[in-house]
Structure 1
């Protein structure tokens, strides 16, 4: 009798233990995902930028999830198209934060869109990670509590590099600026002026262009008449292509040193056969001899996206690389935070010691006074060779 009672007790205990283990296993597999939001250009002439960012995030998320996720939970990417429009970008950001409850929001190519989102991020205390837009005020926004971080170029640092490149490569003495007429252009005007003044170089003039311009010969003609020997250009794909076509129309063989706007879309196709005259800055570029971490990421891209056959098919690489590193750094911040609360994640970024990234080896990439992880030594100059972005030889 005693034996039967003990046996029944053992069976109950075993069944209870099994149920607890099964429940635990089910909870791990059914863990609520941590949502990651993306607001970027997914349509229009800059759609390639949104595609590149998406791919960089997706590869990083696959790696993180395969390694157990973050805080025992998988990451899930949710995207919205800003159509390169600040108002639409702001609405999309609100939706992702308030309705989708994303833990972190990633931004896209356009500085005006990011600038529209920045006040919302700081007001609502949600981390906003920039991976392309380079406007200096995005991170240096004056907020007492700053929730905006970036793994991307920074205009004032880029402008220093562009001016020095013009001097070293072309013996530039009389530069002229041709800038997109928006906050991104304004940000770079300030940076260019500071970089030129530091070197005792006077600029010949500043001309504005619009995204809708179909011909910029008048602006370029004014710069030519003033003896401009090098153009410092800041614009995204379409207006940059119009500059190249207008230069060809004028038969003006002047060097063009550019911010990375041409990399955001179909520049090689839109600008035509002289697209290679534009030398522009990047943080990373895949090459045919890519090895190490770059080779691993390229192989992962090929496996996930069968249409990628060669490195020419991953243009623009900068969006992929910036997003990939930013996602891994963000996952580290959430892990160190131990929660998905905005303030905790923000403080988690400050606790990151090091990360062996695709762009570089990051060492204490963020602090309360420094929200930009990319510095002045992290750039490479490139040009279009056909439809492929290649390092300038």
Structure 2
């Protein structure tokens, strides 16, 4: 009987099924699980869990289950540092994922690097996380989602192909939006596109007519939006202005569909709009993810959930190629990654441990949201 049980256990390992009694491989996730932005952390957690479920149904990694240990960082750097240390020192995780909030991500990078634990930044968009990683920086820090600079460069490449020579930029008065606007301005200049105006919408503003007028005054070829909270108010004012200057940039087409009149949505003016997207179910492979997410959670996925899902699968891929759950082996495997992204392109790391996956230029054409072109940095 002892021989038979031993033989069965060995067969399970070779078949890719977790072995009897084998401890799980653990990844640590620190995200926002409390406070006013807890819904954002929940979407990240949902993306991680969907990926883990799929991975474990397919046999896990190294013949073992892949599990996540979560630690709330409450969007606070001190709490995030404590959370990261707890995951590393008490949970003994092989990899860290997170940390969603930009100040927390900044704070966790040196902690993970000093501990020689790979830290995969899946959502924080700042270019500062790119320049901090890899050669000459934090060798254990990796960034998998597009940065502000990636998005700006891909946007300008598209606009150049459309013979755009000038843009006016509109941003919200928050760190994320302002950083995106700055990236657009700098890359526009490098691309030979004149940024002829930049307007910032103050928090809580509802009267956007004056902003629209100032954007239109220098007669730019495009109004380039990098908006967050004021998207709906801006789009309403844009329609009321007649929408004569086409939109580009980070257009939220779901907000547009809920805000603009059906007549304007189908108009020639709005059909000239072209936005850049790092997550769209218009890509068939991404649509498969979106359906699985909807089936599991009963809600549509956010971009955050998608980024977390892909980052988790990338970690599993690296562990499998490393043949070990040792952090140093995983770090080396992450640096050598070539895993395809569902959005297109691959998670191939540059010298800063940053992957440049594909994004899509999308727009309304013949009444339907359509992918116009796949683009990269």
Category of TM-score, reference length = shorter chain? 0.7 to 0.9
Structure 2 residue ranges without an equivalent (≥5): none
Cα distance in 2 for residues equivalent to 1:64 and 1:128: 20
Cα distance in 1 for residues equivalent to 2:89 and 2:227: 33
Structure 1 residue 159 displacement after superposition? 0.8
Aligned to 2:334: 349
The aligned runs of 1:1-393 (5 Å cut-off) are: 17=3, 28-40=19-31, 50=41, 52-79=43-70, 92-107=83-98, 111-141=102-132, 144-168=137-161, 172-185=164-177, 187-209=179-201, 213-214=205-206, 216=208, 219-236=211-228, 238-248=229-239, 253-259=244-250, 262=252, 267=255, 271=259, 273=261, 279-287=274-282, 290=284, 293-294=285-286, 297=289, 300-301=292-293, 303-305=295-297, 307=298, 314-316=300-302, 318-352=303-337, 354-360=338-344, 362=346, 365-366=348-349, 369-375=351-357, 378-382=358-362, 391=371
CA gap of 1:23–1:339, structure 2 versus 1, over 3 A, is: closer
Conserved 8 A contact 2:216-2:245: no
Conserved 8 A contact 2:30-2:99: yes
Conserved 8 A contact 1:324-1:358: no
Cα distance in 2 for residues equivalent to 1:252 and 1:166: 18
Structure with bigger gyration radius: 1
Give the SS at the match of 2:342.
Answer: coil
Structure 1 residue ranges without an equivalent (≥5): 1-14, 308-312
Structure 1 residue 349 displacement after superposition? 1.0
Q: Deviations over 1:318-360 (max 9, x none)?
A: 44543333222211222333443433321121233x4344223
Conserved 8 A contact 1:383-1:392: yes
Conserved 8 A contact 1:40-1:50: yes
CA gap of 1:351–1:189, structure 2 versus 1, over 3 A, is: same
> TM-score, normalized by length of structure 2?
0.73
Structure 1 residue 380 displacement after superposition? 0.7
Structure 1 residue 254 displacement after superposition? 3.7
CA gap of 1:350–1:166, structure 2 versus 1, over 3 A, is: closer
Conserved 8 A contact 1:36-1:76: yes
Give the SS at the match of 2:61.
Answer: coil
Cα distance in 2 for residues equivalent to 1:45 and 1:381: 32
Structure 1 residue 153 displacement after superposition? 1.3
Give the SS at the match of 1:139.
Answer: helix
Task: Count residues with an aligned counterpart.
Answer: 357
Give the SS at the match of 1:29.
Answer: coil
Cα distance in 1 for residues equivalent to 2:232 and 2:55: 38
Cα distance in 2 for residues equivalent to 1:115 and 1:389: 36
Cα distance in 2 for residues equivalent to 1:113 and 1:222: 36
Cα distance in 2 for residues equivalent to 1:269 and 1:85: 35
Give the SS at the match of 2:142.
Answer: strand
Give the SS at the match of 2:131.
Answer: coil
Structure 1 residue 179 displacement after superposition? 3.0
Cα distance in 2 for residues equivalent to 1:78 and 1:361: 30
